Amino acid sequence: MPDRGLISLDQAQIAAERFLEERLKGIKKISVDKVRLASIEGILIYDVAGTAMIGAWFIGKKTELPFKIQISATDGTAVGYETQTINS
């Protein structure tokens, strides 16, 4: 059970998905593989990792975009992220 004042794992996942949708155009699907509570220098964050699928499915060109986003465990804001592009 989360401590009082912390957002839930589900809320962290939703915040990460919204962050990606605001930053990236043409997202077709977001798959979250991992959400875990962590601490960086005493600050509680959720590490959210997964893959975003971007592109036009009807012409067969799509891009897999693995991502890692750090979400503040207290207010749900993104405090860090990284992505890596893999073309399919």
CA distance 58 to 33: 26
Residue 83 has pLDDT above 60, yes or no: yes
Joined together, the tokens standing for residue 77 give 């804001």
CA distance 19 to 81: 10
- How would residue 58 be classed by pLDDT, with cut points 50, 70 and 90? low
3-state secondary structure of 28: strand
Residue 62 has pLDDT above 80, yes or no: no
Greater pLDDT, 83 or 62 = 83
**For residue 14, what pLDDT is reported?**
96
Q: What global pTM score does this model have?
A: 0.82
The sign of the dihedral angle between the CA atoms of 9, 38, 86, 23 is positive
Domain positions in the chain: 9-87
- 2-42 pLDDT, tens per residue? 456 899 999 999 999 999 999 988 888 999 999 999 998 88
Fold of 9-87: Nuclear Transport Factor 2; Chain: A, (3.10.450)
